[in-house]
Chain A
Amino acid sequence: MASYSLVVSGEVHEGFDKEHVKSVFRTLTGLPEARTDELFDTGKFLRQHNLSEEQAQRKRDALAQRGIVCYLEKETAGSVVADDHTVAPVVPGISSHDDTLTDPPSMYARDDAKAGEETVHADVGGMAVEQQGEGERLPFIFAGRAGEFFRIWIVNLLLTIVTLGFYYPWAKVRSNRYFYASTCLKGDSFSYLAEPLAILKGYLVALLLIGLYVFANIFNSLASGVVILLLFALLPLLLVRALRFRARNTAYRNIRFSFTGGVGDAYAAFLLWPLLTIVSFGILIPLMIYKQKAYLFNGFRYGESTFRFDTSAGPFWRLYLMLFAMFIGAGVLISALTMVLSLGGSDLQSLPMVAMVLPMILLPLVYLGLYAFLFVRQTNLVYNAVALEQHRLQSDYALGSWLGLQIGNLLGVVLSLGLLIPWAKIRTARYRAQHTHFLAAGDLDRFVAAEEKKRSALGEEIGSAFDMDIAI
């Protein structure tokens, strides 16, 4: 009989108050407060081994009802010895029909004292604790160098110009390969495997579509409207194609990634939700962003292993509310400052100048600051929620250093008339690697390649032309 393990990820379902959920969870399991905090506030996991499917599902549902995110994993044969006799009835605290915890199991003390298989057996029926966080925190290492990439970039550029653009797919593959191959995790680099010819085909089709639009636009506004609507309707489909193309052509340790998100879901996330957002005057933006990110990251696979997007919409609402509050606050501050300055000005001639110039200088700065704030916070939020089986990503972008990076890049690129573009790209990639970690729950040797499926060749190639920069 197959056995399952139940994993509590430390996330809280949408609409539940985290502190309340924590106290409920403490009551249910008897887990000490410090450990509960660790589970819910850092990237650690809780796992109970060796449950039957029915047991595991019942527990999952009971926990989910109380706002606790958890999921089941089928245990591979031999990883845990299944012993049906030791499988005690479900602990009352976690069963679905009894809320009161009469006798909190004290297995956590035991878990701390003992380790290994014994713990697993002793804790059957309760929530055995296995701290996945004990695994390694692996850095992504980016080894690319600006000087080296500059030579690749300039030769790419020259060949592209000389061939009137036809070399562009080759240039793109070369440049992408450089960034992938320069990114290392646990001693192995990533590979970008796309064929330039496939990309060229995609570009030709895209060019045809754009040409069609321009042609229609010139001669008939009605026809151009139809073409635009058609393109909009096709956009989610193209996005899915692009994601599949990008994922399938990315590999690590000779195991390819893939993207399995459905077309229907893509239409919901990238057409329906934006429409709803427009209808709601933008109020639904946080929910839309959440749905889109969830669609993306729930769709990726590495070999046979699936990625998950382990968070709720709550943090997105909080982030955008904070942003909105800061925007209003900055607006009030600037108007107040302008008022004070124009009142204080004795020279009547300079009065409108102050009132005009001050917001013109301050507003773009505020806009940039808020944009940076949103970008940094959202990046962290999204990547911290990405999980691959028991493994997780961790992201710690910081506002100050990221702004420094971007301003440095901007100045460098402008002052060098574009010659420092490769330098800026290398710096950006290095920053991204330095601020992302892979929290490995175990070794990385056990991922299994997926069966090679037959694929529609041209479809994905068209998608490649609409390829976006989606980092894994």
Chain B
Amino acid sequence: MSPRPVRLRKISNPPLVSGFKPYGTMKGTPVADIVFLHIEEYEALRLCDFEMLNHHQASVIMDVSRPTLTRIYARARQKIAQALVRGSQIIIEGGKIYFDSEWYTCEACGCYFNDPEKKEAVRSCPLCKSSSVAPWDEEAVRQDEFIGQCNDFCVCTVCRHEASHTPGIPCKEEKCPRCGGQMVRKGTPHSKKF
């Protein structure tokens, strides 16, 4: 039986460079193999470590499941560590991917346009230069809401009060702002005991 086909990963921002080369290699060191970093691994690394999103949020953006995103991310880190330690060249290419960008609509001239560059927020229509533009894609709006649902929350074990989680501070060290009780991470099996 052949394995299940790989789900295509959505790439919102293609990398600016196609690779990295080491410099200052010492004489006599053998030239290390090239590390091929897939574009999906670059994107996972960008979302998790550059945009500082959690794996759940990043998985929604890349249109894969959360465990898959974690595997892609782990592979990316392993490959980059390998390249750094061995001093090998990194080439960013390949992977099961598709590119995507969001649609906008202009109310003044009635056109639809997309924004593949994504350097800054879209403010004016590229055709008629009017500023009455709005995101068109309903799915993108829904996705934004869904990413909101993936945010982490701490929940109080005493009064069930929910507060948004601060990255870097373990939930159990937080005190409930309402009753001063102990907080736990919402949604974990542990939190359901209380």
Whether chain B is bound by chain A comes out as no
